[in-house]
Homo-oligomer: A and B are copies of this chain.
Amino acid sequence: MDQAQFPGFSRCNNATLRRAARRLGRFYDDALAPTGLKGTQFGLLFQIRVSDEPTMGTIAEALIMDLSALGHTLKPLIRDGYVETFADKDDRRIKRVRLTPRGEIKLDEAIKLWDVAQQRFENMMGKEQAAALRATLDQIAALNLEMPTAAPSI
């Protein structure tokens, strides 16, 4: 009964992806709401935890985010005391990031809620389809998508 998709529209991979992202984002956001974290922030905290005192650039690369965007996104987390940064010993240009004890606790708390949402979503989509989707999405993330406009000259 729902006509949410107009034929021509859903042919755009980008638009379709964004639309699904909005829907899924709100779902995870709602689930995490009790912690005060958004889905994005959760993902960022998690990434910081699994990395070993990563640099800004490392995180940005892993998350395929613009470095400056990462800086912006990190600010509220630093302000709220979940994350802290410190200069690298050997190269003062490099800034490393880590969770504070408060951040570790908050992340543990969020993971519990995330797990509920994750399970709930996978029950609806089916674990296999969800896994296949993530595989495809990772494939997109790994694509070398530069327009061949440049790179001719050495």
Contact = CB atoms under 8 A, between A and B. Distances in A.
Interface residues of A, number: 63
A3 to B, nearest CB: 8
A57 interface: no
B30 A65 contact: no
- Give this chain's copy count: 2
Given A24-B140, A129-B136, A145-B121, A12 B46 contact: yes
Provide the main secondary structure of the chain A interface: helix
Nearest to A147: B30
A142 B2 contact: yes
B23 A140 contact: yes
Nearest to A39: B14
